[in-house]
């Protein structure tokens, strides 16, 4: 298949949660949008995550980035309603806040210090540390282990079914005129007269403007402009516990009940390249932690384990940037792309069309790594 630049006005590479959120945001701007997505062995974060819309643990040392999560969380309820309407699909959501359980006094006080710092940098903070008895009142159907001292509580957090969200975006894209092609992009070639040629598994495609939203694959796709994009694989491994009655009206970080009733356990961060093997000793330690929090889980069956590679910029902060020497190419890489999906849809379209970044994201370009973007 060979097509002309006119036929593909803007191409977005990557149909994970970042790519679909960006494509949907661009859809009503009178431009022809084509989304390319090809299955790869490792770029599956959008299909392996927990679906938390999480604000309270990112990041006291990066105030703008912390604020971005809160902003996106505020935009979510209206977006999820719209996506449901446009796609005709139900998206299970729970916007009732979130909890981080603490084991022991030391962990409780270091979490309290962290929340204090977050409160100072954000000035306004919709949450607080709560005692064990307050935690028990929030989750009365769970009997906590004796070491649980309390929790951090934040009312801005929530959870969404991540696969339902992805599916709803994809169906909605077909309804708002975005073309989606299933194909793997092998290489991006800048053209002498302007524009870009994408060499794909199904032949070359050309476009004037390109958005790289292919997760870890952005490293390879952007290497015509940046030989070593500062984005790395951060491996997570999780356990899935059999279906239980619904007992978690507010999601907990690290041990989270899904909308289907199963419980996902896991919080590890490992830097082991693109290795996606599940390591029994690693998931066992996560399981042991979860049983200390919620002992009844120890009597339940494990039904699955899996791993996923988070897309982690070197300094943990999102990257929204043009590529050096290529104003026609925008790159998006974030490690919390579910949380940030509403921001990506609602507030990034102008930037993708050549405008300015929203104020909060202005310092999130590749300039901070020494690249001229
Ligand atoms: C265990 C785990 C739990 C997590 N929990 C949460 C959470 O609770 N909340 C949260 O906000 N985030 C969470 N995350 C992080 C979140 O999943 C990622 O930030 C998000 O999935 C990144 O999305 P993405 O679209 O940028 O990249 P990806 O999910 O990697 O998607 C990239 C897409 O691009 C496609 N692609 C790749 N290469 C090519 C190519 N050459 N040509 C065409 N297509 C290509 C891939 O097939 C894929 O569809 C979690 C991650 C893990 C691993």
**pLDDT tens for residues 72-113?**
999 999 999 999 999 999 999 999 999 999 999 999 999 999
Instruction: Read off the tokens for 6.
Output: 């006119």
Predicted local distance difference test score (pLDDT) of residue 7: 61
Residues of the chain with CATH 3.30.9.10: 231-313
Dist. CA 37 → ligand 1 center (Å): 12
Dist. CA 44 → ligand 1 center (Å): 5
Query: How would residue 268 be classed by pLDDT, with cut points 50, 70 and 90?
Result: confident
Predicted local distance difference test score (pLDDT) of residue 3: 47
Residues of the chain with CATH 3.50.50.60: 3-48+163-230+315-369
List % helix, strand, coil for the chain (3-state, nearest 5): 35, 30, 40
Q: Is the pLDDT of residue 1 over 70?
A: no
Q: Which of 343, 37, 57 is nearest to 202 (CA)?
A: 37
319-335 burial, b for 16+ CB within 10 Å, e for fewer?
bbbbbbebebbbbbbbb
From the CB of 343, is ligand 1 less than 6 Å away? no
Predicted local distance difference test score (pLDDT) of residue 6: 44
Which CATH entry fits the domain spanning 3-48+163-230+315-369: 3.10.20.90, 3.40.50.2300, 3.40.50.1220, 3.50.50.60? 3.50.50.60
Q: DSSP assignment, residue 98?
A: E
Dist. CA 19 → ligand 1 center (Å): 9
Report the residue among 310, 318, 342 best suited for mutation to probe ligand 1: largest number of ligand atoms under 8 A from its CB: 310
Predicted local distance difference test score (pLDDT) of residue 59: 82
- From 29-43, 71-85, 173-187, the region with the lowest mean pLDDT: 29-43
From the CB of 57, is ligand 1 less than 6 Å away? no
Q: Which strands form 93-94's sheet, in the order they lie side by side?
A: 52-53, 158-160, 93-94
- CA geometry: angle 201, 308, 295, nearest 5 deg: 160
Please tell me the distance from the alpha carbon of residue 330 to that of residue 350, in angstroms, as a whole number.
Answer: 12
Question: What is the enclosing helix (H) or strand (E) of 131?
Answer: strand 127-131
- 190 and 224 in contact (C-beta within 8 Å)? yes
Query: How would residue 142 be classed by pLDDT, with cut points 50, 70 and 90?
Result: very high
Fold of the 231-313 domain:
D-Amino Acid Oxidase; Chain A, domain 2 (3.30.9)
Place of tokens 């409160």: 119
Question: Which neighbouring-strand residues pair with 205?
Answer: 198
């Amino acid at each position: 298949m060979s097509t002309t630049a006119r036929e593909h006005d803007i191409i977005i590479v990557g149909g994970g949660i970042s790519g679909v959120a960006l494509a949907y945001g661009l859809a009503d701007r009178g431009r022809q949008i084509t989304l390319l997505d090809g299955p790869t062995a490792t770029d599956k974060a959008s299909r392996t995550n927990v679906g938390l819309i999480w604000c309270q643990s990112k990041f006291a040392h990066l105030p703008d980035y912390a604020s971005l999560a809160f902003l996106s969380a505020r935009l979510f309820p209206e977006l999820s309603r719209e996506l449901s309407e446009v796609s005709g699909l139900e998206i299970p959501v729970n916007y009732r806040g979130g909890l981080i359980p603490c084991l022991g006094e030391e962990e409780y006080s270091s979490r309290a210090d962290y929340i204090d710092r977050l409160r100072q940098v954000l000035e306004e903070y919709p949450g607080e540390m709560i005692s064990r008895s307050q935690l028990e009142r929030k989750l009365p159907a769970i009997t906590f282990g004796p070491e649980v001292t309390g929790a951090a509580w934040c009312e801005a957090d929530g959870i969404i079914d991540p696969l339902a969200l992805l599916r709803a975006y994809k169906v909605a894209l077909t309804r708002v005129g975005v073309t989606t092609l299933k194909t793997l992009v092998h290489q991006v070639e800048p053209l002498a007269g302007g524009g870009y040629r994408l060499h794909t598994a199904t032949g070359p495609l050309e476009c004037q403007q390109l958005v790289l939203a292919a997760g870890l694959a952005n490293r390879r796709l952007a290497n015509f402009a940046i030989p070593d994009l500062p984005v790395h694989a951060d491996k997570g491994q999780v356990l899935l516990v059999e279906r239980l009655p619904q007992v978690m009206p507010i999601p907990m970080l690290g041990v989270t009940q899904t909308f289907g009733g199963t419980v996902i356990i896991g919080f590890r961060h490992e830097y082991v390249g693109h290795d996606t093997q599940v390591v029994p000793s690693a998931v066992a330690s996560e399981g042991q932690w979860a049983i200390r929090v919620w002992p009844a889980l120890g009597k339940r069956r494990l039904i699955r384990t899996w791993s996923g590679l988070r897309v982690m910029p070197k300094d943990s902060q999102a990257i929204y940037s043009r590529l050096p020497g290529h104003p026609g190419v925008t790159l998006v890489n974030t490690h919390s792309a579910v949380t940030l999906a509403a921001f990506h849809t609602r507030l990034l379209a102008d930037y993708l069309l050549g405008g300015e970044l929203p104020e909060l994201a202005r310092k999130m370009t590749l300039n901070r790594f020494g690249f001229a973007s």
